[in-house]
Chain A
């Protein structure tokens, strides 16, 4: 029934809200005033607020979601808002590492893919170009000390596509934005993806591939990944597994020129001093009253509406007074946060592997490297091998880690790999307390228990962040969608006030 990649009712609702708002804006036109929006005087610096020092909207989090929401507010003519960011930088889970000479390598989320139209539109609006992930040539599969196979996987991870097709079929019944509303939710949410895979007669040589792709895409191997949630992810990918978990023509297929963080730095530049850095919110009080108070390291901020554009697990670090409703509190407490990925970048003078017919990709069977890929700049002027690694299978010492990884790459790409010019790594679980985790390893039983608490606002708090997206939740695209959605909700709510 739900063969569309979203629950159509709420999507239509959003569109109606958008049209309603567009109409209202057009109606007030040149007056420059919007019913219910605070502030009449133009202020050259920062957010306008009422004489009583109350902002219309405060946004928590300057990642893609929070900045998209802020940009929408600005474009809608709302000037009475601020974006509060705990870190001393914008971007959240997207981050560029500067390699020097104008080159970067992405440290966090980095790809966009087919059907991810919201982030693609944002990139176009911000004049950020795109280019394909390099995958022409042979991928090298390593196993043990001497096992090695170089094989052209045609831009895929070598997945058994008959099994993938079954998952694609099943995903038609699981709406991406509300998996708990699937007609088969009760039955599917009892199972882990592992329970399902165990029934598919997966051959020993293919098991490691499934383990790896679940670890990369879901943040956990199949045994602890909820089947219902995984199917909702496939549903986001137009009900096509290969658009989710492959490279070419898939969610890992396209990169952004200048690195994904450029989306955030450009939005932040347009927002100017509306973005306040190093300003973690420690407590939110009075969220059920007309004016919400945010207690930050830079003092109190009061606002009529608050857009919470941070990961649910991060919400547990904020004190809520009064406590949040039990449903929402339980959702936050149970939200999985055990995917603290360590992502690495090995830098070489040139992408030397390309002239050998290799695409620079390495997959290791039960080894420290889950997947390494060619992350060189668009022109291939320098060579960069990025990798997701098994955190505990690579030493924490920087030099030791570099040595372990170059030895792996030497076996897959050749001895030139032993002489990198730089090595960089980032463990999102350790670098700072402002991410905790990456993708959401939603376990079995989660959505049928907590689903209804995901989106409803609590008092004047509006939940945003990629985890709340109707399509592509967990991806940069979902972050953009959730930003748009929360801006509409907050504005609409102010108009009704």
Chain B
């Protein structure tokens, strides 16, 4: 009797595994994923965090896969702080960012800037540059002295942003905005730089920079 019962349980187990095996494995991996992501998240603080509000447009850990929404990962903290202040006080205009920046306290701004500055910049795999434009852009970077402010590897420094691996549409929108006076920078350098660039030059620069692999910091 007992033996029969045991056998019965065995058959039942096999049947259950066959029926629900895939489901159980899937559930195991789901719980594992939640545990892993929770652990990584809590390393930055308790849930929920202000940086969550940035993910939608700027991506997980500040790396955006969308060419028009910029990556914040690896941007210098001083640059991020200055931009959030500029959005908040209306010096830099963008309808989505201005009201959001106004809601941030000084403490939130410094923590966000620090957080995104620490995130690794990743390569912009989603973008395929036009080879001719890329080549032209590379030459323009060499003659334009971009590295003087943005750093030898164009990874940014101090109040100057990382350009390497940034979204192509974002880069071009910014170059256009500087050229047309819709965006200004404190030193006025970008106005001077873009004054001599044709629309095609700006496109070429964007292609080169977007395809440039970020250097390890």
Contact = CB atoms under 8 A, between A and B. Distances in A.
B96 A340 contact: yes
B95 A316 contact: yes
Nearest to B35: A204
Given A337-B95, A436-B96, A395 B31 contact: no
B95 A396 contact: no
A394 B57 CA distance: 10
Q: How large is the interface on A (under 10, 10 to 19, 20 to 34, 35 or more residues)?
A: 35 or more
A421 interface: no
Given A204-B34, A365-B37, 10 more contacts: A143-B34, A147-B34, A149-B30, A150-B26, A197-B48, A207-B47, A224-B50, A224-B52, A338-B53, A338-B56
A336 B48 contact: no
23 contacts: A147-B29, A148-B29, A149-B23, A149-B27, A194-B48, A198-B46, A204-B47, A223-B52, A223-B53, A338-B96, A338-B100, A340-B96, A391-B56, A392-B55, A392-B57, A392-B59, A392-B64, A393-B60, A396-B169, A397-B67, A397-B126, A429-B96, A443-B103
Contacts of B60: 366, 390, 392-393
Contacts of B16: none
Contacts, number: 158
Contacts of A126: none
Contacts of B181: none
Interface of B: 23, 25-27, 29-38, 46-50, 52-53, 55-60, 63-69, 90, 95-100, 102-103, 126, 167, 169
Contact of A146 (B29, B38, B50, B65): B29
A176 interface: no
Contacts of B63: 392
Interface stretch (A28-36, A214-222, A274-282): A214-222
Nearest to A148: B26
A396 B65 contact: yes
Interface centre among B30, B32, B35, B67 (most CB of A within 10 A): B30
Contact of A366 (B37, B57, B95): B37
A336 B46 contact: no
A355 interface: no
Nearest to A404: B65
A393 B65 contact: yes
A474 to B, nearest CB: 16
Contacts of A393: 55, 59-60, 65
Closest 8 CB pairs of A and B: A147-B30, A144-B33, A148-B26, A392-B59, A143-B33, A392-B64, A221-B52, A146-B29
Interface string A164-189: 00000000000000000000000000
A207 B38 contact: yes
B100 A224 contact: yes
A200 B33 CA distance: 23
A334 B90 CA distance: 11
Nearest to B55: A390
Nearest to A210: B48
A316 to B, nearest CB: 7
A144 B30 contact: yes
A356 interface: no
A150 B48 CA distance: 26
A395 B168 CA distance: 12
B33 A147 contact: yes
A430 B167 CA distance: 15
Interface string A86-126: 00000000000000000000000000000000000000000
A202 interface: yes
A146 B31 contact: no
Interface in A380-410: 390-397, 400
A146 B103 CA distance: 38
Contacts of A128: none
A146 B26 contact: yes
Given A205-B34, A391-B57, A400-B126, A437 B48 contact: no
A208 interface: yes
A319 interface: no
Interface centre among A147, A210, A430 (most CB of B within 10 A): A147
B126 A390 contact: no
A211 interface: yes
Interface in A302-347: 313, 316-317, 333-340
A150 B26 CA distance: 9
A144 B31 CA distance: 10
